[in-house]
Structures are given as C-alpha cells and as structure tokens.
Structure 1
Amino acid sequence: MPESKHIIQRWPPLAAGGLFILLYSASAWLGMRLTPPGEHFSAIWPPAGVLLTALLITRWRHWPPLLVTAILLEPLATAPGQWPTPGTLILSADNALEALVGAFLLRRYVGFRPSMQRVRDVLSLLGLTVLFCPVLSATPGATLLALNDKVAWADWWRQWRVFWVGDAMGVLLVAPLLLTWGASGSVPWPRRRVVELMALLLGLVATVHLAFEWAPATPSPHHPLPYAAFPFILWAALRFEARGTSLALLALAAVTVAHTLMGHGPFALAASDTLESTPAAATTASLLFLQSFLAAVGGSGLLLAGAVSEQRRAREKSDRLNEELSESLRELAAAQRELVRRERLAAVGELSASVAHEVRNPLAVIANSVAALLRLSRPEANSTTWELLGVMGEEVQRLDLLVNGLLDFARPLSPRLLSQPLAPVVEGALESALRSGVRPGPLEVTRALDPELPEAPLDAQLLHRALSNLFLNALQAMPQGGALRVELGRTEAREGPPQALISITDTGTGISPEVMRRLFEPFFTTKALGTGLGLAIVRGIIEAHHGQVAVQSTPGQGTTFTVRLPLEPAPPRARPRA
C-alpha cells in the first residue's frame, strides 16, 4: 500500500461532499450536451474522471457514500425533472463499478500518487483506468440497451465503442487535471511561471483554432494541421510537468471538440463521408476520430511529463545527497582537525608539566641564591654587581611566570559551574585590567551591559581570569590610547539554550591575517616578553564553560573578541487559570 500522505486529501466533510456533488452534476450535464440528439452514449463522459478522482483522494470509508451519491446523481443530472428508472440506475451503477475497480487497483496494487510525477503512475492510469476499466462498464451498458430493444444487436459494437471511448476520454481529460492540481504538497509557481503558462495556453488555443479554421474542405483525420498542437504539449510537459500538461490537454480538447461539433476541422465528417446513416451518428463518428488524436497527444504528453518529473526529482535527490555528503565531509574534517589539535595540546601539556616541574626546583634555588647574594654582599647601587644581580632576578621572575603559565596550561580545567549573574564578573575583570598598570594614553571606556540578562552557569574565578587576559590584550594593543568598548547581551543559539554574548572591541593596531590563523596556538606570540599561552588558556577556560571565543580584526582599525556562553534556560511560564 502507498503511504497515505501521497493519496489522502483532508477536506471538511460538508465542503468535500458539496464540491463532489457540484462537479459530478456539472460534468454529467456537460457530457449530455456533448451527446448528439438520438445517440445513447456520449463520446466524452467527464463524470468518469470526476468519480475516479474522488475515490483516489479520499479514505476507504468514504467510498460507499461517494458511490451511492454518484449512482443517484447521474440519472437526475442527465434527465432533469424525471425520476430514475431501474434501467438508468443500473447504467449509473455500471459507471460507478468502473471507477471503483480502477481506484481499487491503483491504490491497492500500484501505489498510485495523485501528483503523477512518476512514469509508473501515468502508465497505470492509462492502462487500468483508460483502457481496461471502461470495458467493465461499456460491455454491460451496451448489452442492456440491446436487451431493452433500444438499439439493434447489429448496432451493439458501435454503441460499445462509443461507450468505451467516452469513459476512457473522460478519465484521460478530467482525472489528471483534478489529481495534479488538487494533490497535496504542490509547490506554488512564481509569477513568472504563471505568466509563461498563460502564454502557452493562449498560444495553444490560437494555433489550434487557426488550424481548424484553415483546414481544407475535404475532411481527413490524418491532416497535418492539428499536429501543430504537439509543440505546445511538449512545452507544457518539459516546463510544467503533469499539472501544466493536463491543463494544456483540457484546453486542446475544448477547442477541438467545439470545432468538430460545429463541423469545422479535419475530424468533422459528414454522413456521406462515413457509413453512418444519420447526421447524429456521423457527429459521433467525428468525435471518435478526434478522440484518437487527443488520446495520442494526451498520453504522450503525460508520459513525457512523468519522465521529466522523475528526472527532476532524481536530480534534486542527487543534489541533496551531494550537499549532505559535502556537509558530512566538512564536519568530519573539522572534527579531525579538532582531534589533532586536542591531541597536540595534550602532548604539549604533558611536556609542559614535566618541564615546569623539573625547572621549578632549580629556579627556586637560583632565586634564593640571588636574594642571598644581595643580602650578604650589599653591592652599591648602580654598580656592576648590583646590575647583574638585578638582571638575574628579573630573568628568574620571567622564568617563574613562564613556568606558572605552563602549569596553568597543562592543568586540566574543571570549572565549578554555579548559576550567577554575568555582569559583575565582566565588570570585575575590566576593573582589574584597568588597575593592572597597563594604562595607555588617553583611554575612553564604554560599557553596554544588559542588566536583565539571565544568570549563567559559570566559575567566576576562572572566567574572571580569562576576561582579564582579553582586557589586558586590548589595553596593550593601544599604546597611544584609544577607545575600549565592552558589550554584554543576549543572542539566540541555533541549538540549545540562549547564549550570553560578550564583546570586547579596541581601536588598536589590529591583527594581520597571518597572525589571526595562529592566534590561539600555544607558545605563539608577537610580544617581546610574552609566553604565547595567554589566549590558549583563555580558549580552554571558555570551552570548559561550553562556550566559544572568536576574534575579528582589521589591521590599523582595531580588534573585537567575542565570547559566547550558555545561559540558564528560561523557566516555563505558568498557564493562567481558567
């Protein structure tokens, strides 16, 4: 069985019933208008397509009321003012049986989809409901007329052929139009496509009208002029697929049938041109000739439209799979780079911890020795001894700072995340950086902190350290002074809870693209006395808080560091009491 989403339409029951009654009654009236006087069957019977469509787009449990409605409506619509007779009810039930069998076969064994975007759907519709199922109604219908002496048995074959062609063409012309335009999930066309479709239909109608008007006086069903419609049907199939093709086919049928009934065109046959004895029978024969032309054009167009739809969907699926594959490869490459980075950082961390541990003890001995020499020798100020001992002390302090940085970088970060306001931590880190003594020239500090920002899970001590480092870098980037702007706000994340956004912008010298690529690498620095571990530690602290840190910079204009940290999700709102 096909999935219900492909065949089931959800309509309000009253609206669906009223629409079905309206369409079925109107199509039955139209079918009778197309029946020449004195003929028993119409060469085009649109109700066959209406009932088949209704059964295909509704649920199984709705079939009995639809069939009963169709059986009762057909006699009333075809003979207004007269009560149905047993014979007319049998003919109506015969037509309903045809639609019932066709819809059951399509839904139960074919998996038919009303959008008709597969060649399989078009072939099953043409083979089952256009060629085979009309036999089920034409055979008993023609036989019933012969049994009631309404037609002679010698005329049985002609009546059977008219009945079969009428139902087949009713399905071919009406069902694809209703199915494709009423199918769920149809993507609306842009205005330009609608204009193109209107131009196509107008060109088709005008061309066919002129072709039938200019047809020679001698009728011929094989005259080449009617085939001027083929380019328009191909245009509709290639550009608008089944929806456009079904609409173009209906327009073609309307023009050609109207001309043929008026006696115009190569399919209009007089009684003298046929074996028929009456003008009505000759008109029916003309319509049968015309139906062969419409069947060839319509079947070819729908099959081409189905093939085009399959090719388009295959191309879209291929493009979607390629995009998903490309995205997966990008994610895999990013994960691989991140894994390599983490493994390298882990190796550097282990080495750093080992080196720091081995260096710290000798460094402490050197520091104590320098202090002892200063205390015991008491060199004179500005003497060579005093200067050398001072240089040794400064280098010991620098090495001690480097060792502490190595230990901090190698130490696993396990922040104690507690929900607390973020603004005081940002303000405290900024004030700490401003008091550090790294003060450039004239400095303008601007704060834009959101006071209503929700609390965030954070380790205040670790985050204070990371933000202080970023503030110090911003101050050091403006040796001649400048402007420092600090912003704290809220932003929505693609997935997960909302995030706090901390933005630190300076008007310093900026960072070159070459430096930007290695900015967060351990031991990479552009400072004369830097260790290259500050931003690596900052990144580790922010990521330990499940956040991200990023940087944007323009050389000569300034730099902006942005830190994103997850916020506590907002509590659910209490529902008002009824």
Structure 2
Amino acid sequence: MVATQDARRAVVPGLWTLAVAACYYAAGRLGLLRQLTVENAVFTPIWPATGVALAALLIVGLRCWPGIALGAFLVILSIAGPSVRPTALINVAGNTAAPVCAYLLLCRVGFRPELARLRDGISLVVVGALLGTLISSTTGTGNLVLTGRIDLDAFLTVWFAWWVGDAMGVLIITPLLLAAARARAPLRLRRWPEAAALLVTAVLVVPLATRSSVSVLFLVCPLLIWAALRFQVAGSMLCALFTSVMATIAATDGVGPFQGLTHVEVMSKLQAFNGTMALTALLLSALITEQLHTRQSVERACQELVEVLEHLTAGQPPSRWPPENRDPDTPRRPHPAPGDPAERKPR
C-alpha cells in the first residue's frame, strides 16, 4: 500500500508536466499560424501559450513549471529545427519565468481564480498581463539583439509587439481556461436559446466588422456587453476570443480596416483593438459577476433573517400578543410580559 502511494506521488507530477507541456506546445503552434513582421522580426499578435501557462499555474500550482519549460523548448525546436542555438535557452527561461512570476505576484495580492470580484479582474490585467509578460518580452527581444537578428534601434518596436502579444494571450486565454476549470454542470435549458442567438449574431456581425472596408469595428461592442451581462466571464471571453481571432486573420491578410496600412500601422491598430476589447470583456464580466454574488449574498441573508424571525414568532405563546395583532394578516409585534424591563415604570 505504501509502495503504491509512493509510486503515485512520483507518477502524478510527471503526468502533469507532460500534460502542461502538450497544452503549451499546442497553444504555441496555434499562435504561429498567424504572424506579422515588424522591423524584420516575426511575431504573433496573440501568443496563447502564455495564457495557457498562467492558467495551468493557477489551477495546478507551482509544481507544473517544468511542463511550461518543456513546452516552450518544444515550440522553439519546432521553429528552428535541429539548428536551434544554445541562446534559445534564454527564450525558454524567459517564457517560463514570466508566468511563474505573474503567478507568485497574483498569489501575493490575494487573487482568486473564480474571477468573482472586480479586483480579481484588475489584478489579472495589471499583474498577469502587463507586468508578468515584461520578462518574456524583454528576454526574447534582447536575445534577438544579442544574436544580431535585429538592430538595436528596432528594440523598442519589436519589444512592444512581443509584449502586447504575450499580454493578449493572458487577457483572453487565461480567464477562459479558469472559467472552463470551474464548469461543473451544463448550461440551464432555458438559457440555450439565448446562447444560440448570441452565437448566430456573433457569427454574422464579427466577420462583417473585421473584414469590411468601412471601419465598423465598434459593432462588436454590443456583443461583448450582451455576453458579459448574460453569461459573465465564460460568455464574454469566448466572444472576445472569436473576435480577436477574426481580427487577427483580417490583419494578417491585409483586408478590411487593415488594408493599405504599413506593418507597424497594422500591428498598432490590431493590438489597440484587441487590447481594448479584451479589457472591456474581462473587467465588465468581473464587475457583473461581483454584483450578482453580492445580490445573492443579500438575498440569502434576508431569507435567513426571515426564517429566524418566523422561528422566534412561532415559539411565543398566543397570550403574549396584543389583541389588535392577532389577525394573521397583520404583522405581529411581541408584547412584553409583566415584570419585563419594558413594563417597569419609573417610580
């Protein structure tokens, strides 16, 4: 029995490492499907692997960090092939340290993965997306400069593109995975028609907004508000993910509102749109979830108070009630018994 438990303790961490590495690798390969070139450096507008790494740390814990490192190495190996340089280990270290440091900082500020408070959404944005990804973007861009792939003058431009791509992965992918990890029961049947209506509307409106030559990207805002109001974090982040993917496809194809723009202009417009959309979806859904939980807490407290009052009322004898309050439709007020402090008159 003891040997079985010891074997399980040795196998479980290895399985978690392989699972996280596989998820990181799959997310990295998906992110590489669409790329932009800025200052002779190729980058991805959304790097979902960083979001997967942070979500794995928040769900599993710090023990899964070897899986992040292994997944990052496999992604780099798939890009460079057998000619991968030893300096690639700098990128592996940066891509591993970024989500780990973000996780430690989130634990420090009291972050809750349920995203049921507005402060949790703000913490994920500031600590997870903006601060944590500074490590990966700085090490990755610095490595490009050290190896001579880009000039020093292009450092800030490439660094900004790298940083925003990693931050977008955290803003969109991490909340969605945290919501999926908490899912226990299917959506209630009465909500399916509304969910289907939202899906059909998104499928019709989002491609039109992202590929039309007329600048109508603002059409996605009502969809985000609808999804956040009715389906909270899961609905809003799914809508944000679909919109971001469609906008990235349009940007890399150079169509719609991104037609005729330079590479830097495409990058700036796409990242500004994706960032604004993701921030709106995440913070609005977190605020609505917090208000719903507050309302439910108040309703439960009121219900408990009613039950306590009914219990106390039922325990009083009928003679303790004044005649005018014996009507069952009239609220009953306890009448003080003789000798109670309320019956004592001043001498």
Q: TM-score range by the shorter chain?
A: 0.7 to 0.9
- Per the TM alignment, residue 335 of structure 1 is displaced from its structure 2 partner at its CA by 1.7
Rounded to whole Å, the distance in 2 between the matches of 1:39 and 1:298 is 25
Q: Give the number of aligned pairs.
A: 308
Cα distance change on mapping 1:64 and 1:215 into 2, 3 Å: closer
**Which structure 1 segments of 5+ residues have no match?**
1-11, 217-222, 272-281, 342-578
Mapping for residues 147-546 of structure 1, pairs under 5 Å: 147-183=146-182, 186=184, 188-216=186-214, 223=215, 225-271=216-262, 282=263, 285-337=265-317
Tell me the SS of whatever aligns to 1:266.
helix
Letter paired with 2:85: T
Tell me the SS of whatever aligns to 2:82.
coil
Could you give the per-residue CA deviations for residues 150-187 of structure 1, whole angstroms, max 9, x where no partner exists?
Answer: 11111111111111111111111211111111126x55
2:6 corresponds in structure 1 to none
2:50 corresponds in structure 1 to 48
Cα distance change on mapping 1:145 and 1:331 into 2, 3 Å: same
Indicate conservation of the 8 Å contact 1:71/1:96, yes or no. Answer: yes
- Per the TM alignment, residue 74 of structure 1 is displaced from its structure 2 partner at its CA by 2.9
Cα distance change on mapping 1:119 and 1:251 into 2, 3 Å: same
1:88 corresponds in structure 2 to 88
Cα distance change on mapping 1:27 and 1:288 into 2, 3 Å: farther
1:441 corresponds in structure 2 to none
1:130 corresponds in structure 2 to 129
Tell me the SS of whatever aligns to 1:40.
strand
Cα distance change on mapping 1:50 and 1:269 into 2, 3 Å: farther
- Per the TM alignment, residue 339 of structure 1 is displaced from its structure 2 partner at its CA by 10
Letter paired with 1:44: I
- Per the TM alignment, residue 268 of structure 1 is displaced from its structure 2 partner at its CA by 3.7
Letter paired with 2:203: V
Indicate conservation of the 8 Å contact 1:53/1:179, yes or no. Answer: yes
Higher relative contact order (CA 8 A, sep 6+): 2
2:22 corresponds in structure 1 to 22
Indicate conservation of the 8 Å contact 2:13/2:64, yes or no. Answer: no
Letter paired with 1:21: A
Letter paired with 1:211: A
Tell me the SS of whatever aligns to 1:33.
coil
Could you give the per-residue CA deviations for residues 89-126 of structure 1, whole angstroms, max 9, x where no partner exists?
Answer: 2112111111011011111x222222212101100011
Letter paired with 2:31: G
Indicate conservation of the 8 Å contact 1:45/1:169, yes or no. Answer: yes
Could you give the per-residue CA deviations for residues 251-309 of structure 1, whole angstroms, max 9, x where no partner exists?
Answer: 111211112222212134434xxxxxxxxxx1x64143112112112211211111111
Cα distance change on mapping 1:14 and 1:66 into 2, 3 Å: closer
Rounded to whole Å, the distance in 2 between the matches of 1:339 and 1:174 is 65
Indicate conservation of the 8 Å contact 1:261/1:268, yes or no. Answer: no
Structural RMSD (CA): 2.3
Indicate conservation of the 8 Å contact 1:99/1:133, yes or no. Answer: yes
Rounded to whole Å, the distance in 2 between the matches of 1:120 and 1:203 is 31
Could you give the per-residue CA deviations for residues 118-149 of structure 1, whole angstroms, max 9, x where no partner exists?
Answer: 10110001111211222222222212211211
1:418 corresponds in structure 2 to none
Indicate conservation of the 8 Å contact 1:130/1:169, yes or no. Answer: yes
Could you give the per-residue CA deviations for residues 6-25 of structure 1, whole angstroms, max 9, x where no partner exists?
Answer: xxxxxx66764454233211
Q: How does the TM-score come out when normalised to structure 1?
A: 0.50
1:104 corresponds in structure 2 to 104
Could you give the per-residue CA deviations for residues 188-231 of structure 1, whole angstroms, max 9, x where no partner exists?
Answer: 42123233223213212311212334324xxxxxx3x1100000
- Per the TM alignment, residue 340 of structure 1 is displaced from its structure 2 partner at its CA by 6.3
Cα distance change on mapping 1:13 and 1:122 into 2, 3 Å: same
Indicate conservation of the 8 Å contact 2:35/2:44, yes or no. Answer: yes
Aligned equivalent of 1:59, options 37, 40, 61:
61
Rounded to whole Å, the distance in 2 between the matches of 1:266 and 1:193 is 34
Could you give the per-residue CA deviations for residues 383-407 of structure 1, whole angstroms, max 9, x where no partner exists?
Answer: xxxxxxxxxxxxxxxxxxxxxxxxx
Indicate conservation of the 8 Å contact 1:269/1:285, yes or no. Answer: no
Tell me the SS of whatever aligns to 1:145.
helix
Rounded to whole Å, the distance in 1 between the matches of 2:88 and 2:196 is 41
Rounded to whole Å, the distance in 2 between the matches of 1:137 and 1:16 is 23
1:119 corresponds in structure 2 to 118
Letter paired with 1:49: G
Letter paired with 1:74: V
- Per the TM alignment, residue 83 of structure 1 is displaced from its structure 2 partner at its CA by 5.9
Q: Name the larger-Rg structure.
A: 1
Cα distance change on mapping 1:15 and 1:298 into 2, 3 Å: same
Indicate conservation of the 8 Å contact 2:121/2:283, yes or no. Answer: yes
1:72 corresponds in structure 2 to 73
Letter paired with 1:177: L
Rounded to whole Å, the distance in 2 between the matches of 1:96 and 1:73 is 13
- Per the TM alignment, residue 334 of structure 1 is displaced from its structure 2 partner at its CA by 1.4
- Per the TM alignment, residue 67 of structure 1 is displaced from its structure 2 partner at its CA by 3.8
**Which structure 2 segments of 5+ residues have no match?**
1-11, 322-347
Indicate conservation of the 8 Å contact 1:257/1:287, yes or no. Answer: no
Cα distance change on mapping 1:302 and 1:36 into 2, 3 Å: closer
Could you give the per-residue CA deviations for residues 41-69 of structure 1, whole angstroms, max 9, x where no partner exists?
Answer: 32221111010111111133x14433432
Cα distance change on mapping 1:337 and 1:110 into 2, 3 Å: farther
Share of identical aligned residues, percent?
Answer: 32
Rounded to whole Å, the distance in 2 between the matches of 1:244 and 1:314 is 20
Rounded to whole Å, the distance in 2 between the matches of 1:288 and 1:95 is 23
